[in-house]
Amino acid sequence: MKRETGLANVMRHAPLVAPSMLKCDFGNLHREVELLEAAGAQMLHLDVMDGHFVPNLSYGPMVIERLRSLTDLTFDAHLMISQPARYLDEYIEAGCDWITIHAEAEDDPLPLLQRIRDAGRLAGLAFNPGTPVADIEQALPACDLVLVMSVEPGFGGQAFNPIALEKVRQVRQLAGAEQIISIDGGIGPSTIADSATAGANVFVVGSAIFDEPDYGAAISDLSARAQGTVV
C-alpha cells in the first residue's frame, strides 16, 4: 500500500517543489530540515553521487538513514551511481520513499524498477540531456516517475538546458496524465512555469531555495509559478 499511497499523494498535491539537499548546509543539517518543514516542503530530493557515474561524491545510505530519523517528509532519492542494483537494498533500508536510477547506468532497467516497486517504493528512471526519449520509452510502463535532467548530472548550480522542455512534452505525451514527471537542474523563478506548461509536475530546486533568506517565501513563490498563478 505504501507505493499506491505515495502515488495518490503526489497526484493530489502536485505541482510539488522538491528541495535538493545537495545545496543545503550540511553543517546544520537538522536545522535545515526544520526550516524546510516550516517552509511547507513536502519532500526532500536526495542527490546520491558515487564519483564514478558522475565525477563528484555526495553522500550515501548512512547519511540518509540518519536524516530519516529527523523527519517524516518524503525522501526522493536520485541515484547518480554505477551498478545501482548492487546498492539498492541499502537505500530501501535507509528509508527512501522514491528511488530513481539512471537509464545510462542500466542496460535493462526493467528488473530494477520492478524490485523498487516490489519493495513498496516509487520507481523512477532518470535520463540525461544527451539521451533521447526513445531510449527510455519501453521502460515507461514500469516507471512511477520519470526524471528529466535539464543539466548534466553531478554538479549543482548549472544553467537550465531548454532541450529538457521538449523531452518533458514527449514523455507526457507517451506516458499520459497520471505519470509523475520530475525535472532537475536550473529550476527557479524563470524556468519553473515553462517546465510546468511542458508537463512536469515535480520540480527539483536547489539554489532558488537555499540561496534565499526565506525558504518559505521561495517555495511559495515557486509553487505559485508552477500553478500559473504568478505572471
Catalytically annotated residue among 47, 76, 97, 221: 47
Catalytically annotated residue among 50, 97, 144, 184: 184
User: In 3D, which of 40, 32, 14, 42 has the Cα closest to residue 228?
Assistant: 14
Contacts of 67 (CB under 8 A, 6+ apart): 21, 29, 33, 44, 46, 75
- Residue 27 is assigned to a ligand binding site: no
- Residue 184 is assigned to a ligand binding site: yes
- Residue 78 is assigned to a ligand binding site: yes
- Residue 47 is assigned to a ligand binding site: yes
- 3-state secondary structure (DSSP) of residue 125: strand
Cis-peptide into 141, omega within 30 deg:
no
Rounded to an integer, what distance in angstroms lies between the CA atom of residue 81 and that of residue 101? Answer: 8
- Residue 185 is assigned to a ligand binding site: yes
- Residue 186 is assigned to a ligand binding site: yes
- Residue 188 is assigned to a ligand binding site: no
Q: Is 47 a catalytic residue?
A: yes
Contacts of 97 (CB under 8 A, 6+ apart): 2, 6, 43, 74, 75, 76, 121, 122
Residue with cell 536510477: 101
- Residue 45 is assigned to a ligand binding site: yes
CB 226 within 8 A of CB 190: no
- Residue 118 is assigned to a ligand binding site: no
Contacts of 95 (CB under 8 A, 6+ apart): 64, 65, 68, 75
Q: Is 76 a catalytic residue?
A: no
- Residue 206 is assigned to a ligand binding site: yes
Residue 92: count other Cβ atoms within 10 Å of its Cβ.
19
User: In 3D, which of 83, 153, 85, 78 has the Cα closest to residue 122?
Assistant: 78
- Residue 207 is assigned to a ligand binding site: yes
Residue with cell 545510505: 61
Q: Which residues participate in the annotated binding site for a divalent metal cation?
A: 45, 47, 78, 184
Q: Which residues participate in the annotated binding site?
A: 20, 45, 47, 78, 154-157, 184-186, 206-207
Enumerate the active-site residues: 47, 184
Q: Which residues participate in the annotated binding site for substrate?
A: 20, 78, 154-157, 184-186, 206-207
